[in-house]
Amino acid sequence: MERQPINFRTSRARPRRGAIIVIVIWAVAIAAVIVGAAQVLAFRQAAMGREAIAKVEARWAARAGIEETIAVLEYHTEEPDPTDARQMFKDLEKCADGELASGSWEIRHTEDGVEIPGPQDEHAKINVNGANRLVLLELANMTMDVADGIVDWRDNDANPGLMGAERDFYVNRDAGYVPRDAPFRSVAELELVAGAFPSSVRGEDANLNGRLDPNENDGALSEPQDDADGMLDAGWSAALTARSTVSLIGSGGEPKLDLKSATAEEMQERLGVNAQQAAALTQFAKGPSAKLEMLLTQDLGSLSSGGRSGSQNQAQNGRQPSGRQSGRSSSGGQQGQNSRVPSLDSQQLRKIFQEATLDAPGTYVPGKLNLNTAPPSVLRALLPDDPISADAIVSQRGASSSGLLAISDLLGSSRITPQALAAIAPYADTQSYVFTITSRGRAMTTGLEVEITAVVDRSTLPARILEYREQ
């Protein structure tokens, strides 16, 4: 009788026990899911942590490459060697690759489509703010309307060139902007000029880092369109820059001597000229149209006595008369009224181009092409009608282990006329101040890469960073 309830309880307990088992199984299952999820999360966090660490390692490795390069650039501003134009570039190449405990870096730039060690010398390119339309027309895909449009963009007047475009044109087509009417600040700004396309400005170098990235070498698989030939065609950006600058510091590390205000004593000391030559230089510098390049084509004696305006014009127009003038090297000078002034010898001329200036203080002067580092293709663009002189510069610089120390060094070449030299002298010399350092850092652990690009100007101390970007 008493069993009934027990049986009853037992029979009622069975389903309850079953329910408990189900609950327990569920609880175990849920716990397993939670533990599993926590594990996945922890694993993911660990992976993210590792990646974050790798990113930091890669970033600091890239940064170390930038810092080391800046140190080399500053050293050569502080302790320049005016007798060797190549040493700085050798030193830059030495720190193009480096290692830290946690990562490594490599600094490369592209020349004629191929990556080579070291930063990009912005002075190996023509400054777009100094390039005339003939020089611009040497570039691939350049048309007359765009060349004129580039000149209109940077000049400060409102008169369009023959096929150019000024403010009205941009306003009428609702461009949303008007020409700067001042020097370009970057090569990318060229893309704002009417008719200039990014494909012409950048070519395959879509991110303008001067290096061949995977998407720039895969054809049509990804933007941009490229020919997947393993070479970087960087369009106009390979030959043009807006970054190069002129320095107020001479090759010896001291501020340049302004010939318009320098004393005769300073000239004798800095330029190695004698009293008579210093007096003649002072007289020459007083002329309102005096330009250093006139010293390449004319004798100091004739320049100081008023100059021969005919040959001045020749120099400025870049015309090349058939023969070379040779008066400079003869001791007596030319037939100038001031013929007793001894001609400047090659050492003195070199010093003048290294240490002196006639640029009015404070005026904007576009940076100059470095004749030591410009690729042959860029030299030919600078000398549009004169490939012989362009090639002669390449062979002349190659013949000297120290490179060209001043543009006047090229007066020794029989294949380059002084007139051709004088024509390019406003746009070319033998120094480089601005470099684009593209440093790719790699983490030792995972191989993750971070790239830093910095544009650095060493014409002042400390060096200035003009642009800095990471990707």
> How far, in Å, CA of 373 to CA of 350, rounded?
18
| # binding residues, Ca ion (CB under 5 A) | 17
Select the span of 144-152, 243-251, 362-370, 459-467 touching Ca ion (CB under 5 A). Answer: 144-152
Of residues 99, 112, 168, 229, which one binds Ca ion by CB under 5 A?
229
Q: CB-based burial of residue 391 (10 Å sphere; 0-12 exposed, 13-18 middle, 19+ buried)?
A: middle
Please report, for the chain, how many H helices and E strands are present, in that order: 15, 13
Using CB under 5 A as the binding rule, whether residue 99 contacts Ca ion is answered as: no
Q: Report the DSSP beta bridge partners of residue 141.
A: none
At position 114, the amino acid (one-letter code) is V
How many other β-carbons are positioned within 10 Å of the β-carbon of residue 111? 18
The answer to whether 125 and 377 have CB atoms below 8 angstroms apart is no
Using CB under 5 A as the binding rule, whether residue 115 contacts Ca ion is answered as: no
Select the span of 230-238, 361-369, 404-412, 431-439 touching Ca ion (CB under 5 A). Answer: 230-238
30 vs 175, which CB is nearer to Ca ion? 175
Q: Minimum Å distance from CB 132 to Ca ion?
A: 15
128 vs 423, which CB is nearer to Ca ion? 128
419 vs 436, which CB is nearer to Ca ion? 436
Q: Could you tell me the two tokens for 123?
A: 């002075």
189 vs 213, which CB is nearer to Ca ion? 213
Q: Could you tell me the two tokens for 321?
A: 């008369």
208 vs 371, which CB is nearer to Ca ion? 208
Q: Minimum Å distance from CB 438 to Ca ion?
A: 9
Q: CB-based burial of residue 294 (10 Å sphere; 0-12 exposed, 13-18 middle, 19+ buried)?
A: buried
Could you tell me the CA-to-CA distances from 193 to 152, 165, 175, 301 in Å, in that order?
9, 8, 10, 46
> How far, in Å, CA of 119 to CA of 112, rounded?
15
Q: Minimum Å distance from CB 113 to Ca ion?
A: 7
Q: Minimum Å distance from CB 453 to Ca ion?
A: 10
254 vs 470, which CB is nearer to Ca ion? 470
Using CB under 5 A as the binding rule, whether residue 138 contacts Ca ion is answered as: no
299 vs 449, which CB is nearer to Ca ion? 449
String marking each residue 177-216 x if it binds Ca ion according to CB under 5 A: ----x----------------------xx-x-x-x-x-x-
108 vs 123, which CB is nearer to Ca ion? 108
Helix axes 87-94, 3-78, angle to 10 degrees: 170
Among residues 107, 42, 128, the alpha carbon closest in space to that of 456 is found at 107
String marking each residue 361-400 x if it binds Ca ion according to CB under 5 A: ----------------------------------------
DSSP string, 323-385: S---GGGSTT--S-TTTTSPPP-HHHHHHHHHHEE-SPTT------EETTTS-HHHHHHHSTT
Q: Minimum Å distance from CB 410 to Ca ion?
A: 34
Residues in touch with Ca ion (CB under 5 A): 152, 155, 181, 204-205, 207, 209, 211, 213, 215, 218, 222, 226-227, 229, 231, 233
